[in-house]
Amino acid sequence: DWTMAEFRKAKIDEIREQVGDKRVICGLSGGVDSAVAAVLIHEAIGDQLTCVFVDHGLMRMGEAEQVVSLFRGAYQIPLVHVDASTLFLKGLEGVTDPEKKRKFIGKTFIDVFEDEAKKIGGAEFLAQGTLYPDVIESVSFTGGPSVTIKSHHNVGGLPERMDMKLVEPLRELFKDEVRELGRELGLPEIFVGRHPFPGPGLAIRIPGEVSREKADILRKADAIYLEEIRSAGLYDAIWQAFAVLLPVKTVGVMGDGRTYDNVCALRAVTSTDGMTADIYPFDAAFLSRVATRIINEVKGINRVVYDYTSKPPGTIEWE
């Protein structure tokens, strides 16, 4: 029976003991897990830690800026911010298959991270925000069905290729405990309570071919949706909520003109672990407010629909 304050102290001692005076590199994803791991490790070993944030240009609105200002500003943790958006978006040209998108993004992420690690002179240790469910999931599939629904990527593949020792201070924790530890470490609530976001980012929320222009449109719609969810006080009751930009154009009317633009789908689910999920039952007034704002404020979208599919049979993401 321990408290988060005790856990924090014990882990700091453990990290110091493991790492000694060697250097550690940590890849930040923009998510809660890697941020909490990095802040904890920084508390233990200070400037022996360097963080690398590979920005694939497929983050949500303001996300990259938030990571950079939190680390460089509030915590003064050395951070290499790589804007690799051109590399990622060029490479995704013509790619429409969901698994090919994932594989390309995963591989490119590792390439960029590895290059940056070399540039800063390497390190003996690689830090990761691996959680307990990740640990179980990677061993629990023996004997299970041999179908891959989606090849999830975090930074899987990195450790083997880089031949580094791992520092994984969150291996015993579940998501809610990581959030509690984040609060204990003073991370801002907007960061700690954030909905999960997939490694491939907006690429898997743009069915069909991805482009910078589509990502910009989606980012705006998504930001409006989340802003309305927050101001309705619903954010914490929802596991994940996001917009999807469909590769379907429909006819509309705006003022006295005809429009011919894309459809935006809204998704919101409740879940405890992401394995199964139920749709969030917004009231009609809320949804119509969001739809009106998106159509009025986002050029390129003229129709909004709500996704009523639970998991199973649907998955949470559309790809």
**Is residue 150 within the footprint of ligand XMP (CB under 6 A)?**
yes
Distance CA 262, CA 265 (A): 10
- The SS3 call for residue 154 is coil
State the residue for tokens 């704002």. 293
3-state secondary structure of 127: strand
Q: Is 194 in the site for ligand XMP (CB under 6 A)?
A: no
19's tokens = 């790492």
Work out which of 48, 66, 154, 262 binds ligand XMP, going by CB under 6 A: 154
Q: Would the annotation count 35 as a binding residue?
A: yes
Measured from the CB of residue 204, what is the shortest distance to ligand XMP in angstroms? 6
User: Is 215 known to sit in a ligand binding site?
Assistant: no
Q: Which of these segments, 150-158, 168-176, 254-262, 291-299, binds ligand XMP (CB under 6 A)?
A: 150-158
Site membership for ligand XMP, residue 152 (CB under 6 A): yes
Q: Is 33 annotated as a binding residue?
A: yes
Q: Is 32 exposed, middle or buried (0-12, 13-18, 19+ CB in 10 A)?
A: buried
Q: Which of 102, 194, 205, 220 binds ligand XMP (CB under 6 A)?
A: 102
Q: Distance between CA 180 and CA 182 in Å, rounded?
A: 5
| 146 is an annotated ligand-binding site residue | no
CB of 58 to ligand XMP, least distance (A): 12
Per-residue H/E/C for 28-93: ECCCHHHHHHHHHHHHHHHHHEEEEEEECCCCCCCHHHHHHHHHHHHCCCCEEEEECHHHHHHHCC
Determine whether the annotation assigns residue 29 to a binding site: yes
Give the span between the Cα atoms of 133 and 20, in whole angstroms: 28
Among 157, 196, 247, 312, binds ligand XMP (CB under 6 A): 196
Does 169 engage in binding with ligand XMP (CB under 6 A)?
Answer: no
**Given the rule CB under 6 A, which residues bind ligand XMP?**
102, 150, 152-154, 196, 198-200, 240, 274, 311, 315-317
Annotation: binding site for ATP: 29-35
